[in-house]
Amino acid sequence: ETGVTQTPRHLVMGMTNKKSLKCEQHLGHNAMYWYKQSAKKPLELMFVYSLEERVENNSVPSRFSPECPNSSHLFLHLHTLQPEDSALYLCASSQGAGRGGNEQFFGPGTRLTVL
């Protein structure tokens, strides 16, 4: 148990569906992240929020829309996804957005399958 929870753990959706992934951290951290993890590929950073403001958006398609209502919660809204978006989506949090040796604590991930 890392102090970061994600729901749902598994999600199957069609290309026309709209769904949301939820992340919650109980560690008092001020930075939160969304990553995409595909088989045998490096973790891809999608979004970073520091103090509830987005500070990073690595050319992620607009069909992924993040929301950070407060420092403990992070959402990833999904719409009109493609089959290649099928992957494990990981949420992480840290104290400070990557500064120094501040390790990131990861949630268990949401396994997303797009049909």
Among the residue ranges 20-28, 36-44, 62-70, 75-83, the one whose residues contact other proteins (CB under 8 A)? 36-44
What does the block give as tokens for 64? 């992924």
Among 71, 73, 95, 105, indicate the residue that binds other proteins (CB under 8 A).
105
Among the residue ranges 14-22, 61-69, 75-83, 105-113, the one whose residues contact other proteins (CB under 8 A)? 105-113
Per CB under 8 A, 110 contacts other proteins: no
Residue 8: asked if its preceding bond is cis (omega within 30°), the reply is yes
Per CB under 8 A, 103 contacts other proteins: yes
Q: Give the three-state DSSP class for 85.
A: helix
Cα(25)–Cα(15) distance, integer angstroms:
29
Among 18, 26, 77, 99, indicate the residue that binds other proteins (CB under 8 A).
99
Backbone φ and ψ for 29, nearest 5 degrees, come out as -75, 160
What residues line the site for other proteins (CB under 8 A)? 2, 4, 40-43, 45, 56, 90, 97-101, 103-109
